């Protein structure tokens, strides 16, 4: 079926993916008519899956009924602590069953959940807590150990709840004293969620991204933004099936090995929201290891995995892969990092699974375009067409002129998944969000059928295994070193990770610093994945254009030895 024919069939009046037009902040916007209105409705819907497993983590197997009871109990506790609609509740933890409960306990009572990057340093975590004005933090033991020494610097933070604490707590309470361990949740009292007046346009989350200032910006998303992704994912799957000439199957619960962090929009919005609605099972690993992952895939009959290309590569290239039955895998999807066309073909040929890709940003609450199955095999360098409620445009440098099909320009996106703006940053919001559109900073083109091809990503960003590394953030840390007077961070291609960060620095006359010293300097101040894997020293100031901008493309020649390797 052609793309227009598929869209007409799936979005017809009375169809599952029927659309409607509503006013969102003064802009007429297409929405999914059948999307849940808000998080509380989604959580109540998830309860209908009853005894089906919501999460598996080691020996903890939590049903949707048990998960609902834990969410309701913790939400009531938040209320008892004085958390009100609009208050910020931060979550800082690795992927755990408690993460999901803490998140939905906040959003179902109208609080704004603030998922913090679990890899962040103490300084970065405290920035997120202070910037958001979080009144409550739910953290696992490791994250709390980072934050605890700085509690006095966070006057807004009134309450802390810690999961899996390894030592006695001071100034915080154990989540186990409130709702027990995941093994206990099924025996919690049967109660509904606390009453809350929620609407689709109420604010639901602040997810931190970064920009040219080098400091993270909080993308303020609404309930509608997240609910949109539920049907966007379903629409994309249905579109792929119809495009291949097959009939739509009846809905079936899937098992997903979720190895990307829940604090990312990909896992949280594109993954968890749909799993809650459809009754899919999420399996969590403490750390991704290919051998362990293959054991889990075989034992739990996993249908879906991925997240970033790194995961697929590690499974495909593992020397022990032949020992495991991976035949349950139906799809391996990923986004957030460049992927080689070779990977697309290998997933289909060697894993007998459908490869999947897509494009989105934190500012778009994840999914805008999706790409899978035969379409992906036929266009392996594309990120796919937009879902039916989204629009894409390619605009010229003036930000106004819309370029014709096939021409390269800046990618702009519009739809009900676009966030409200940046938290407490009106100037940055005004520059990025224009009349319902988000200007992405990505250079792209569209073909005749609407398939999108990203040619270069947002300026000054390196994507390492799905983790965004914003150049200015690392450069600012390097500039703080007393020996550094000029520097630039660039991305080097890496077959498995997509890219790795590398830096070029110019030292002050007479000053000395080694590669290892500068790497340790960055490592002490930023998360480990942001540390440059290589640093080269330039004898002169770095090359710049007429506007004073460093010509980063000219610097890659300094790393030809690594690129060739």
**Residue 352, number of CB atoms within 10 A of its CB:** 11
- 551 or 368, higher pLDDT: 368
Identify whether 42 is part of a domain. Answer: no
Mean pLDDT, the chain, as a whole number?
93
Q: Is residue 397 part of a domain?
A: yes
pLDDT tens digits, one per residue of 395-425: 998 999 999 999 988 999 999 999 999 999 9
- Mean pLDDT for the stretch of residues 196-222: 87
**pLDDT exceeds 80 at position 57:** yes
Give the CATH number for residue 326. 3.40.50.12780
Q: Per-residue pLDDT tens for 235-250?
A: 999 999 999 888 999 9
Give me the percent of the chain exceeding a pLDDT of 90.
Answer: 75
Task: Give the pLDDT confidence of 455-477 residue by residue, as tens digits.
Answer: 766 566 788 888 888 787 888 89
Q: Looking at the predicted structure, is the pLDDT value of residue 339 above 80? A: no
Q: Which residues of 203-219 are buried (b: 16+ CB within 10 A; e: fewer)?
A: bbbbbbbbbbebbbbbb
The pLDDT of residue 212: 43
Query: Does pTM surpass 0.85?
Result: yes
Chain-centroid distance, C-alpha 178: 29
How many Å from the N-terminal Cα to the C-terminal Cα in the chain?
44
Would you state the torsion angle of the CA atoms of residues 259, 533, 362, 289, taken in this order, to the nearest 10 degrees?
A: 0
Residue 114 has pLDDT above 80, yes or no: yes
pLDDT in tens, 259-300: 989 999 999 999 999 999 999 999 999 888 999 999 999 999
CATH of the domain at 137: 3.40.50.980
Contact 120, 98 (CB under 8 A): no
Q: Which domain holds residue 317?
A: 3-19+221-456
Q: Do 438 and 298 share a structural domain?
A: yes
Q: 378 burial class (0-12, 13-18, 19+ CB within 10 angstroms)?
A: exposed
Tell me the sheet residues that pair with 504. 488, 536
CA–CA separation, 463 and 360 (whole Å): 13
Q: Last residue of a domain, which of 163, 198, 233?
A: 198
Q: For residue 221, what are its two tokens? A: 């998303």
Q: Which residues of 448-486 are buried (b: 16+ CB within 10 A; e: fewer)?
A: eebbbbbeebbebbbbbbbbbbbbbbbbbbbeebebbeb
Q: Do residues 495 and 340 touch, judged by C-beta distance below 8 A?
A: yes
The mean pLDDT value for 19-34 works out to: 97
Provide the pLDDT confidence category of residue 336 given band limits of 50, 70 and 90.
low
pLDDT band of residue 28 (cuts 50, 70, 90) is very high
Residues 60-99: tens digit of each pLDDT = 999 999 999 999 999 999 999 999 999 999 999 999 999 9
CATH number at residue 523: 3.30.300.30
Give the pLDDT band (50/70/90) at residue 37: very high
Q: Distance (Å, rounded) from C-alpha 221 to C-alpha 362?
A: 9
Instruction: Give me the mean pLDDT over the 301-327 stretch.
Output: 90
Q: Are residues 405 and 258 in the same domain?
A: yes
Residue of 223, 205, 298 lying closest to 257 (CA atoms): 298
pLDDT at 211: 47
What is the pLDDT confidence band of residue 517, given thresholds at 50, 70 and 90?
A: very high
Same domain, 113 and 9: no
Kindly report the number of other CB atoms within 10 A of residue 327's CB atom. Answer: 12
Name 389's bridge partners: none
Could you tell me if 473 and 428 lie in one domain?
no
How many folded domains does the chain comprise? 3
Asked whether 217 and 208 are in contact (CB, 8 A), the reply is: yes
Residue 204 belongs to a domain: no
Residue 27 lies in a domain: no
Q: Provide DSSP, 172-183.
A: -EETHHHH--GG
* 53 within domain boundaries: no
Query: 542 and 428 in one domain?
Result: no
272, part of any domain: yes
393 lies in a domain? Answer: yes
Domain termination site, one of 132, 166, 198: 198
Domain final residue pick, 438, 456, 474? 456
- Tell me, what's the pLDDT at 302? 98
Statement: residue 544 has pLDDT above 80? no
pLDDT at residue 309, rounded to an integer = 76
Residues 104, 190 within the same domain: yes
**Least confident piece of the model among 90-99, 148-157, 556-565:** 556-565
State the pairing for strand pair 391-395/173-174: unpaired
Do 177 and 90 fall within a single domain? Answer: yes
What pLDDT is attached to residue 470? 77
State whether 435 and 507 are in the same domain: no
If asked whether residues 179 and 308 sit together in one domain, one would say no
Residues 387 and 404 in one domain: yes
282 and 376, same domain (yes or no): yes
Using CB atoms within 10 Å of the CB of residue 178, give its burial: 0 to 12 exposed, 13 to 18 middle, 19+ buried.
middle
What is the spatial distance between Cα 383 and Cα 210, in angstroms, rounded to a whole number? 22
DSSP state of 286: S
The number of angstroms, rounded, from the C-alpha of 324 to the middle of its chain's C-alpha atoms is 29
**Residue 18 pLDDT exceeds 70:** yes
Residue 242 forms part of a structural domain: yes
Quote the tokens at residue 262: 């829940």
Residues 385 and 445 in one domain: yes
Nearest to 182 by CA among 299, 63, 286, 310: 63
Q: Quote the CA–CA distance of 193 and 495 in Å, as a whole number.
A: 47
């Amino acid at each position: 079926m052609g793309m227009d024919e598929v869209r007409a069939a799936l979005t017809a009046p009375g169809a599952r993916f029927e659309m409607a037009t509503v006013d969102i902040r003064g802009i007429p916007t297409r929405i999914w008519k059948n999307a849940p209105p808000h998080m509380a409705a989604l959580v109540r819907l998830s309860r209908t899956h009853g005894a089906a497993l919501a999460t598996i983590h080691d020996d903890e197997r939590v049903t949707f009924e048990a998960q609902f009871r834990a969410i309701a109990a913790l939400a009531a506790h938040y209320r008892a602590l004085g958390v009100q609609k609009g208050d910020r509740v931060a979550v800082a933890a690795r992927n755990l069953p408690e993460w999901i409960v803490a998140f939905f306990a906040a959003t179902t009572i109208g609080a704004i959940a603030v998922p913090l990057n679990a890899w962040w340093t103490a300084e970065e975590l405290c920035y997120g807590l202070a910037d958001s004005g979080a009144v409550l933090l739910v953290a696992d033991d490791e994250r709390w150990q980072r934050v605890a020494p700085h509690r006095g610097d966070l006057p807004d933070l009134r309450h802390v709840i810690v999961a899996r604490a390894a030592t006695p707590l001071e100034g915080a309470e154990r989540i186990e004293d409130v709702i027990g361990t995941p093994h206990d949740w099924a025996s919690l009292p049967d109660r509904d969620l606390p009453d809350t007046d929620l609407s689709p346009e109420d604010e639901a989350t602040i997810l931190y991204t970064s920009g040219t200032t080098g400091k993270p910006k909080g993308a303020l998303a609404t309930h509608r933004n997240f609910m949109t992704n539920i049907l966007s994912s379903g629409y994309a799957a249905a579109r792929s099936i119809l495009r291949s000439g097959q009939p739509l199957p009846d809905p079936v619960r899937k098992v997903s090995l979720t190895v990307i962090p829940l604090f990312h929009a990909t896992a949280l919005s594109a993954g968890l929201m749909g799993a809650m609605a459809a009754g899919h099972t999420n399996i969590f690993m403490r750390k991704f290891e290919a051998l362990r992952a293959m054991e889990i895939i075989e034992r739990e009959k996993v249908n879906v995995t991925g997240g970033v290309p790194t995961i697929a590569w590690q499974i495909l290239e593992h020397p022990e892969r032949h020992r495991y039955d991976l035949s349950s895998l139906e799809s391996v999807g990923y986004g957030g990092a460049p992927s080689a066309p070779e990977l697309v073909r290998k997933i289909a040929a060697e894993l007998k699974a459908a490869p999947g890709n897509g494009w989105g940003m934190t500012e778009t609450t994840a999914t805008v375009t999706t790409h899978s199955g035969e379409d992906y095999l036929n266009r392996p360098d594309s990120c796919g067409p937009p879902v039916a409620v989204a629009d894409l445009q390619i605009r010229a440098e003036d930000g106004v002129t819309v370029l014709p099909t096939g021409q390269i320009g800046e990618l702009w996106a519009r739809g009900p998944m676009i966030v409200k703006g940046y938290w407490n940053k009106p100037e940055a919001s005004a520059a990025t969000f224009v009349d319902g559109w988000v200007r992405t900073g990505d250079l792209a083109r569209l073909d005749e059928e609407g398939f999108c091809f990203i040619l270069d990503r947002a300026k000054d960003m390196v994507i390492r295994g799905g983790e965004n590394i914003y150049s200015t953030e690392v450069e600012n840390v390097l500039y703080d070193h007393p020996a550094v007077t000029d520097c630039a961070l660039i991305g080097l291609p890496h077959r498995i990770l997509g890219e790795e960060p590398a830096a070029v620095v110019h030292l002050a006359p007479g000053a000395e610093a080694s590669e290892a010293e500068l790497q340790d300097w960055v490592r002490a101040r930023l998360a480990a994945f942001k540390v440059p894997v290589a640093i080269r020293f330039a004898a002169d100031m770095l090359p710049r254009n007429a506007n004073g901008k460093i010509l980063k493309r000219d610097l890659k020649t300094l790393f030809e030895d690594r690129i060739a390797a």
